Structure 1
Amino acid sequence: MSRTTISHRERLETCLSGEIPDRVPVALWRHFPVDDQTPEGLAAATAAFQRLYDFDFIKVTPASSFCLKDWGAEDEWRGHPEGTREYTRRVIQQPEDWAKLPLLDPTSGHLGDQIHCVRILTAEFAPHTPVVQTIFSPLAQAKNLIGQENLLIHLRRYPEALHAGLERITQVTIRFIEELRKTAIDGIFYAVQHAQYGLLSEEEFETFGRYYDLRVLEAVKGWWLNIIHLHGNEVMFNKVADYPCTVLNWHDRQTSPSLSEAKQTYSGVICGGLRQWETLVLGTPEAVFEEAREAILSTEGERFILGTGCVLPVIAPNGNILAVRQAVEQISPP
């Protein structure tokens, strides 16, 4: 892989300004199961991954339970190929449990551990490579506190109880972000999981999702690299496209809009172009290279970061990951 004098930070700043940088920026991110159970372990695994592939930004990817364990959630590693853990204890059993969620201290417990992890990583990479911390939306956190099916039941049968819980979750999330501001981090990777027509109506998402999302995103103003991840199929793209952020990432290869369609209506930077499973896991380096070429040509390499629609499966072959990195060195926009 060639190295140039321009830093990853400078390349992304150029991309975000609307200009075409020396090459298309690229980033992949993944879970690190087992390693993610201590801040030192997650930091070491994340750093090793970055040193090997030299991506243009680092997404810190803790287990989704990092923000819930101080409330009593429990999970374990059972070998999921995406690197995610299975929940073994849900916190919310009855509607009245939402109001019992305490306001957590972000400087202690598992939240404090994550701040420590971020400090380790930014100490090594922040001057030249941006670092962003994963933040799950309040509704996504609520899902993991109760389970997806029961969340939808509470949303429709006990809305006031759920609102009480979402209010607590939002307050704690903002407290955590305020503590993150004391580190050298560059922004957040904000995961929105319920802007899907197969889960909620637009009105339901507005009420239980977007309202709380905008409050959280108000707290991250001033950071220059805030990325929205729109998860799932049949997504409500237009309900999220106006969120205050600098980059939008979604499963563009499996749900509309396509990259080229999104560029017509979205003024920020888009991130995607590669399929997680069909290409990065089951494909060949040649297939990865061609899919990357198609994505770069369809966006003309402008306001575009090459990546996947979601997390890189932990079983993706090294050669396919290298092909992603090499593609941006060899493919020039038209």
Structure 2
Amino acid sequence: MMTKRDRIKASIEGKAADRSPVGFWRHWPGDDQSPGSLAGVALAFQRRYDLDFIKLPVSSVYCVEDYGITHAYKGSIMGDREYLTRVVVNAGDWLKLEPLDINRGTYGWHLEALKSLIQDKDEHTPVIVTMFHPLAMAAYLSGDDTLIAHLRQHPSAVQAALNALAETSARFARACIELGADGIFLSARFASHELLNAAEYRRFGRPADLKVLNAASKGWFNVLHLHGPHPMVHELADYPVQALNWHDRTSDINLKQAAGCFAGALMGGIEQTLMAQGTPDQIAAQAREAIAAMNGRRLILTPGCTYSLAVPEANLMAVRRAVEELPESSAGSA
């Protein structure tokens, strides 16, 4: 039997594995606000379902809290925290943002949580750290509408802020890899055609993204996560990552299409809505379909994104068991 690490590496390289790797993730409101509980729930969750990797289950607020935003959890079914205050209101506020010392404050205790998790986990279980690309960080600091308006009306000010945010993120990414993380999971929410056009993304998104990914270049399991119904898969297919995760079931590009332009592993196959509203049999059918579509290779079976806190236990077990219950002839077929 292959180790979890070897199974994922085989998928990245397009080689046969004993079965498709599998993973899923959720938010842990409350537990994601201190290092001990964050590391604890991440490890317990992976062990409960025997998942092939650990994705550190951070809240989005962690990447901007040290810049001064305030937040609270108010019962979101997805486990998200709400932003109570923003830092950027006027265009001039962008120019006040500077790179942070990632060894202090919220960044610092997340590194502490990562260190604890790496010490306690099985050595063959990869761990990746969720990060949010600088454009998303800028939106958390200002709100989506303000960011997009300022990006078009005051591009120089926004660009200066993105440079500072990218430097902070690059420092954090590098520190995570140096601590022993196997890669980062870079969530690039604004790399979607319903938010920005391709030219805007080339100017404001790509340089900052690449700065962060280059800082994580010593990782072997870096993941790019894209959002929305119209993700920029083709435009970002050359990013230096080993895996791509997106809403493949509900976007305008499916697994086979993405496999034609991206060379690494594809993370998907299960629709998030089905996770909460479907039956175990329906989930198993989606899993079989996805694995067959990829001929048993290059697929890490996952949902497209974070799943709802209301997902039944039976449905989570259905995702995990799906990769074990396929006929032997399906695993690693050419």
Same fold (TM over 0.5): yes
Q: Which residue pairs with 1:23 in the alignment?
A: 19
Deviation at 1:126, TM superposition (A): 5.2
After superposition, give the CA deviation of every residue in 1:156-207 in whole Å (9 maximum; x if it has no partner).
Answer: 1111110111011011111112222331110000000111111111111111
Distance across 2 between alignment mates of 1:7 and 1:172? 34
Gaps of 5+ in 2: none
Displacement after TM superposition at 1:46 (Å):
1.2
Equivalent position of 1:304 in the other structure: 299
Q: How far apart in 2 are the matches of 1:230 and 1:11?
A: 23
Q: Which residue of 1 aligns with 2:2?
A: 6
Taking only aligned residues, the RMSD between alpha carbons, in angstroms, comes to 1.1
Equivalent pair of 1:126/1:185 in contact (CA under 8 Å):
no
**For residues 1-334 of structure 1, what are the structure 2 equivalents within 5 Å?**
5-125=1-121, 127-277=123-273, 279-332=274-327, 333=330
Asked whether the equivalents of residues 12 and 265 of structure 2 are also in contact (C-alpha less than 8 Å), the reply is: yes
SS in 1 for 2:158: helix
Maintained 8 Å contact 1:126/1:184: no
Summarize deviations over 1:303-326 as a string: whole Å, max 9, x none.
110001111211111100000000
For the Cα contact (< 8 Å) 2:177–2:218, is it kept in 1?
A: no
Distance 1:65 1:131 in 2: 20
Query: Partner letter of residue 190 of structure 1?
Result: L
Amino acid in the other structure paired with 1:281: A
Give the number of aligned pairs: 329
Contact residue 20 and residue 302 of structure 1 kept, 8 A: yes
Report deviation, 1:265: 2.4
**Which whole-Å CA distance do the structure 2 matches of 1:320 and 1:22 have between them?**
23
Amino acid at match of 2:133: S
CA contact (8 A) 2:234 2:261 kept: no
Question: Whole-Å Cα distance in 1 between the matches of residues 177 and 243 of structure 2?
Answer: 19
Q: Which runs of 4+ in 1 moved over 2 A?
A: none
Q: Contact conserved, 2:233 with 2:258, CA < 8 A, in 1?
A: no
Q: How far apart, CA to CA, are the structure 2 residues paired with 1:227 and 1:27?
A: 13
User: When the two structures are superposed, what TM-score results if normalisation uses the length of structure 2?
Assistant: 0.96
Contact persistence 1:27–1:306 (CA under 8 A): yes
Query: Quick one: distance in 2 between partners of 1:289 and 1:104?
Result: 45
SS at match of 2:323: helix
> How far apart, in 2, do the equivalents of 1:215 and 1:178 lie?
11
The aligned amino acid for 2:54 is I
Q: What is the CA–CA distance in structure 1 between the aligned matches of 2:76 and 2:67, rounded to whole Å?
A: 24
Q: 2-side partners of 1:327 and 1:73: how far apart?
A: 41
Distance 1:180 1:264 in 2: 31
Residue type of the partner of 2:51? F
Kept after mapping to 2: 8 A contact 1:106/1:176: yes
